[in-house]
Chain A
């Protein structure tokens, strides 16, 4: 009998072996860190490459026209790249989606975290997961082929309008809003709830006066993430928003067709692709950059807000 040679060797402590071990540990750590950084480098690369192709547009056409004019004629001479109506379109459907998703989502999250018994909650979870899992193109298909004719039968002049898209985007954003705000509500903890009940408050009073204020920043983060999802969504708006580059009259008229940033990028790239280097091509990257920066901002704000809540709950 005898121990295997290799394991006996590893017990020997020599300076060289120590160095080798330290070196390999250091290398291994570095390698892991390098691989992990791929995601981080990915974000920077995305920002860089979108910006690289967006800058030529602003060099060619400046800022003023893009952000203040509503004349969007990228393909007929003289070309005009006024994207204001497209920004308004994106804003309008995102606002609509938030109006659908925020109240519904927060109410559902409150109900899930504090009202429903455990068994029912377990049954509702898959519903939320399924809503989150359905591919966006299937939502878009539904919006265009099923939902738009319904709206038209109800009296809208066209079924592919801002209302249609807002409702569908709202439904798509629901899972995010529900799950993130439920997490925030759960994070508040038992003590506050028990304290409030002990003072004789009803469930509604406990939730609305104590729990929601304590979780407010988390709920805000949830709504922000939902808004981000709606703003960045492409297929639904491309298929069902009507794609008319115009500001509705009045601006909150949800029954008019609109056009969004994402849909413009998706729809115009096919024509612009072979004229790489033209303003036509770069304007789409400029839109992408605007989207990207907005989403970065939303994301950072929501992270910041969540960390504030975490600190506050820990501190109290």
Chain B
């Protein structure tokens, strides 16, 4: 092979490597970008007057007087809609009979349903039981989707039998051509802003409010607290155990068959699939040890603690081994015993490194889902007090992300909550990692002198 060809191949090879790294970076961006950009929509969005009404009535936040004034303005803007509905019922519907009337009423009910989703219950109607029917669209983006549904009837065209059905949008106005309801659609389309008064809002309550009506309203506070409990609980079990084990491995253990067996066990523990930890937690902590009657934060924390134990051990051992030998020699030279050297010299010197590993495993514990499915997580729950964690299960961010995007009855309705939750969890975990990265950088600077 000529020199030229070899150099070309060399370049090509480097290019492939760089490409792989670029693909990796791209994957990271592609995954994080939608989660963060749409997750931000849970905190910052155009909130309608219905949102402000909900906040005032449910969380007692907001300016009651300003809201009353707004409500008055909104009522005025909405009045023509209800007038049109009343006129249609009185004039057009009354003139029909039999099947025609039934069909017309059905069409009317469809319109009324969508209007209720947009503006809340009709004036004069009894307050519905379900919160989701008590309020109209609280978010402008959802309101726009509902407006589309009001303006267009969605039908499917199956005439081309070869392919899948084609979606056809037909203006709903045509269904009501010539009736008192015909102008309603144009009116709603042009006056929607006046009827809902959207304003850009920073809804910090998404983090600190409880949710109600299956997460359709409110925030993620119980999930957040649950995640914090589980994470801290796991740390309480794993960190002391992990540090002691690391001390043993790094300072006491004489390399031999027993120690290498122990090491193999630790690395095997690290390789156990997370769902198996969940099964184990169920079979051991709950069904055998009976640490709690059924799922509880305690059982989940113990399971998570076992899951992160190998990570903590490895990080702590590495940190302890990184302490310069001269420290130890100085301590021993001053007459300190082995244990005293460890406690007074080596541990303080290794502490930042140990903390780094701890912080990273904290992120791991916060994000794990599979181990807590059978041991700690429930879909709906309130904020627990610290002693209730011994016996009660809790909602948690990771579990509820799964739950809301697969098992919720109105998945599309609460996309913003799902994204908000995912973004919050990912951000928390990444921040923990960032802290660890910064700490590590400072340690390596310090060790360099």
Interface on A for B, CB 8 Å cutoff? 28-29, 32-33, 35-40, 42-46, 49-50, 52-53, 103-105, 107-108, 110-112, 115-116, 124, 126-131, 133-142, 144-146, 171, 174, 178, 202-205, 207-208, 225, 228, 231-235, 238-239, 262, 265-266, 269, 273, 276, 284-285, 288, 291-292, 295-296, 298-300, 303
Which residue in B266, B374, B433 is a CB contact (below 8 Å) of A130? B433
In chain B between 304 and 340, which residues have their CB closer than 8 angstroms to a CB of chain A? 306, 309-310, 313, 339
Q: Which residues 263-316 of B have a CB within 8 angstroms of A? A: 264-269, 271-280, 282-284, 287-288, 306, 309-310, 313
- Is the C-beta of B28 less than 8 angstroms from some C-beta in chain A? yes
- Are B287 and A276 closer than 8 Å at their CB atoms? yes
Is the CB of B19 closer than 8 A to any CB of chain A? yes
Q: Which residues of A contact B7 (CB under 8 A)?
A: 202
Contact call A124/B21, Cβ cutoff below 8 A: yes
CB <8 Å contact, B262 and A138: no
Consensus secondary structure, chain A interface: helix
The complex places the Cα of A134 from the Cα of B401 at a distance, in Å, of 14
Knowing A40-B261, A299-B268, the reply to whether A29 touches B370 (Cβ < 8 A) is no
**CB < 8 Å: which of B245, B272, B287, B398 contacts A135?**
B398
B283 touches A50 (CB 8 A): yes
Give the CA-CA distance A35 to B27 in the complex, in Å. 41
Partner of B276, one of A50, A137, A174: A50
- Give me 6 A-to-B residue pairs in the complex whose CB atoms sit less than 8 angstroms apart, sorted by A's number: A33-B252, A115-B18, A228-B273, A238-B402, A276-B287, A291-B275
A-B pairs with lowest CB-CB distance, top 3: A135-B367, A232-B273, A111-B17
Contact B272–A292 (Cβ < 8 Å) = yes
Does B280 lie within 8 Å of A50, measured CB to CB? yes
CB of B17 within 8 A of CB of A115, answer yes
Task: Given A130-B430, A205-B10, decide whether A234 and B24 contact each other with a Cβ distance below 8 A.
Answer: no
Q: Is A42's CB under 8 angstroms from B309's CB?
A: yes
Please indicate the chain A residues that have their CB under 8 angstroms from the CB of B272 in the complex.
Answer: 43, 46, 232, 292, 295
Asked whether, in the complex, the Cβ of B401 is within 8 Å of the Cβ of A36, the reply is no
Assess A136 versus B269: contact at CB under 8 Å? Given A49-B280, A141-B422.
no
Known: A36-B248, A39-B313, A141-B405. A266 touches B10 (CB 8 A): no
Contact B429 A134 (CB under 8 A): yes
Q: Is the Cβ of A296 less than 8 Å from the Cβ of B262?
A: no
Give B366 Cβ to nearest chain A Cβ, in Å.
7
Contact A174–B10 (Cβ < 8 Å): no
CB distance from A266 to the nearest CB of B (A): 6
Contact B10–A202 (Cβ < 8 Å) = yes
B437 sits at the interface (CB 8 A): yes
Verify B273–A262 contact, CB threshold 8 A: yes
CB of A273 within 8 A of CB of B374, answer yes
Does the CB pair A138–B14 fall under 8 Å?
no
At the interface, is chain B mostly helix, strand, loop or mixed?
helix
B25 in contact (CB, < 8 A): yes
The answer to whether A232 and B276 have CB atoms under 8 Å apart is yes
Bound: A63/B360 CA distance, A: 42
Which B-chain residue is minimally distant from A240 (CB atoms)?
Answer: B406
Kindly state whether residue B369 has any CB partner on chain A within 8 Å.
yes
- If A129-B433, A204-B9, A291-B273 are given as contacts, then 17 extra A-B residue pairs at C-beta distance below 8 Å, sorted by A number, are A36-B253, A39-B245, A39-B262, A43-B268, A45-B280, A49-B280, A49-B284, A111-B20, A126-B437, A134-B31, A135-B425, A141-B418, A174-B27, A204-B14, A235-B402, A273-B374, A288-B276
Task: Mark contacts of B234-278 with chain A using CB atoms, 8 A cut-off: 1 yes-contact digit, 0 otherwise.
Answer: 000000010011011100110000000110111111011111111
Which B residues touch A239, using CB under 8 A?
402, 405-406
**Which residues of B approach A to under 8 Å, CB–CB?**
6-7, 9-10, 12-14, 16-21, 23-25, 27-28, 31-32, 34-35, 241, 244-245, 247-249, 252-253, 261-262, 264-269, 271-280, 282-284, 287-288, 306, 309-310, 313, 339, 360, 363-364, 366-370, 373-374, 398-399, 401-402, 405-406, 415, 418-419, 422, 425-426, 429-430, 432-433, 437
Residues of chain B contacted by A37 (CB below 8 angstroms): 262
The answer to whether A292 touches B34 (Cβ under 8 A) is no
Give chain B nearest CB distance to A229 CB in angstroms: 9
Known: A111-B17, A131-B28, A299-B268. Contact between A32 and B283, CB under 8 A? no
CB contact between B363 and one of A53, A133, A266 (< 8 Å): that residue: A133
Contact residues in A for B288 (Cβ distance below 8 Å): 49
CA distance A142 to B369 in the complex (A): 15
Q: A40-B266, A234-B274, A239-B402 are in contact. Are A137 and B20 (CB under 8 A)?
A: no
Q: How far is the CA of A292 from the CA of B25 in the complex (A)?
A: 32
- A8 to chain B minimum Cβ distance, whole angstroms, is 13
A204-B34 in contact (CB<8A): no
Q: Which residue of B lies closest to A11 (CB)?
A: B335
**Does A39 lie within 8 Å of B265, measured CB to CB?**
yes
Closest-by-CB residue of B relative to A142 is B31
Q: What is the chain A residue whose CB lies nearest that of B403?
A: A137
How far is A128 from B27 in the complex, measured between Cα atoms in Å? Answer: 11
Cβ-closest chain A residue relative to B396 = A137
Q: Which residues of B contact A29 (CB under 8 A)?
A: 252
* Contact in complex: A296, B17 (CB < 8 Å): no
